[in-house]
Amino acid sequence: MQRFSFGERVKITVGFWFLWLISTALAASVRFKVIGQENLEKLVAEGKGGLIVLWHGVTILPIYYCRNRGFYSLVSVSRDGELQNRLLKSRGFRTIRGSSARQGARALLESVRMLKAGGVMALTPDGPKGPAKVVQQGSVKMAMMSGVPILPVGLACRPCKRLHSWDSHLIPKPFARAALVFGEPFLLPPTIDEEGAARKVAEAINRQEALAEKALG
pLDDT tens-digit map of 154-188: 999 999 999 999 999 999 999 999 999 999 999 99
Ordered DSSP codes for 189-217: -TT--HHHHHHHHHHHHHHHHHHHHHHH-
pLDDT of residue 101: 57
Residue 216: is its pLDDT beyond 80? yes
pLDDT of residue 183: 98
Q: What is the CATH number of the domain that holds 27?
A: 3.40.1130.10
Q: What is the pLDDT of residues 30-88, one digit of tens each?
A: 999 999 999 999 999 999 999 999 999 999 999 999 999 999 999 988 888 899 999 99
Asked if residue 44 belongs to a domain, the reply is: yes
Q: Nearest to residue 50, comparing CAs of 185, 189, 155?
A: 185
What is the count of structural domains for the chain? 1
Asked if residue 72 belongs to a domain, the reply is: yes
Band of residue 103 on the pLDDT scale cut at 50, 70, 90: low
Asked if residue 154 belongs to a domain, the reply is: yes
pLDDT of residue 8: 87
Average pLDDT over residues 104-127: 95
- What are the two backbone dihedrals, phi and then psi, of residue 37, each rounded to the nearest 5 degrees? -55, -35
User: What is the residue range of 208's domain?
Assistant: 6-216
Asked if residue 1 belongs to a domain, the reply is: no
Band of residue 100 on the pLDDT scale cut at 50, 70, 90: low
Whole-number average pLDDT of the chain: 94
Q: What is the pLDDT of residues 25-39, one digit of tens each?
A: 999 999 999 999 999
pLDDT of residue 2: 61
CB 175: neighbour CB atoms within 10 A? 10
Asked if residue 40 belongs to a domain, the reply is: yes
